[in-house]
């Protein structure tokens, strides 16, 4: 029997885009290299609708993913390496590890839904600690700047979107026993990727507000 949390965090032989509307791709570029999108650049962001280049249902899911991702980037924007590596307490995850966790979860669903397999050894070496979080991630995921995490998220997302363009709504509705060993379609799996990102966005924001010197840092951060 597989519950969602145990499956993502514990079974890990084991997630949403580059915005596709014109001018919005900038939202996934590290903010040190490119500013966050203006209201004009983000035109269409708040319309959840089919997007050109995707089948109707997949396009709507991509629009949802596009809506979530900028808020994740804003929550971490301007953080230093030390802040990304900061542990709130001995049981916490760092903000850097949570960003990597989002990418690792998306990779899991890529290989699960696009290729029908578990991660291979090379993928496990790269993504295993980020998937499981906890002590392993606290030990391994540190020493990186913000561009590393944002670039990794972008790299993973670009692959997801490329694969989505190759598929249709019939594939999106294909199902197999999965969550709680119940029939679960690809739509549900990828919706989980989106809501999973929203969940951890909240954790990142919570941790960011509790960083040492937060009030001064927040006032001076770009």
Tell me the torsion sign for CA atoms 197, 203, 206, 211. negative
Distances (CA, A) of 163 to 52, 109, 123, 212: 15, 12, 18, 41
- Domain range annotation of the chain: 4-14+45-217
Identify each DSSP E strand in 100-194 by its residue range.
175-177, 183-185
Q: Could you report how far apart the first and last alpha carbons of the chain are, in Å?
A: 46
Which band of pLDDT confidence, cut at 50, 70 and 90, is reported for residue 215?
A: low
* Model confidence pLDDT, tens digit, residues 17-51: 333 333 333 334 333 333 344 433 456 889 999 99
The correct CATH number of 4-14+45-217 out of 1.10.10.60, 1.10.287.110, 1.20.120.450, 2.40.10.120 is 1.20.120.450
pLDDT score for 214: 75
Q: Bigger pLDDT: 2 or 61?
A: 61
User: Average pLDDT of the chain?
Assistant: 84
Query: Looking at the predicted structure, is the pLDDT value of residue 181 above 50?
Result: yes
pTM here is 0.79
Query: Looking at the predicted structure, is the pLDDT value of residue 199 above 80?
Result: yes
Query: Residues 120-134, buried b or exposed e (16+ Cβ, 10 A)?
Result: eeebeeebbbbbbbe
pLDDT score for 174: 98
């Amino acid at each position: 029997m597989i519950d969602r949390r145990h499956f993502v965090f514990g079974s890990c032989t084991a997630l949403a885009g580059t915005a596709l509307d014109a001018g919005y791709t900038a939202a996934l570029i590290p903010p040190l290299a490119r500013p966050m999108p203006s209201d004009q650049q983000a035109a269409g962001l708040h319309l959840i609708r089919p997007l050109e280049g995707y089948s109707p249902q997949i396009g709507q899911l991509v629009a949802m993913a596009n809506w979530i991702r900028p808020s994740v980037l804003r929550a971490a924007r301007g953080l230093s390496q030390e802040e990304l590596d900061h542990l709130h307490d001995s049981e916490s995850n760092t903000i850097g590890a949570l960003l990597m966790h989002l990418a690792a979860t998306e990779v899991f669903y890529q290989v699960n839904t696009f290729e029908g397999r578990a991660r291979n050894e090379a993928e496990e070496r790269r993504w295993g600690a980020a998937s499981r979080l906890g002590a392993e991630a606290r030990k391994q995921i540190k020493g990186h700047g913000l561009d590393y995490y944002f670039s990794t998220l972008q790299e993973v997302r670009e692959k997801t979107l490329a694969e989505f363009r190759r598929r249709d709504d019939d594939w999106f509705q294909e199902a197999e026993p999965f969550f709680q060993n119940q029939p679960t379609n690809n739509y549900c799996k990828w919706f989980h990727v989106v809501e999973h990102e929203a969940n951890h966005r909240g954790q990142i924001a919570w941790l960011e507000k509790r960083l040492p010197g937060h009030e001064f840092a927040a006032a001076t951060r770009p």
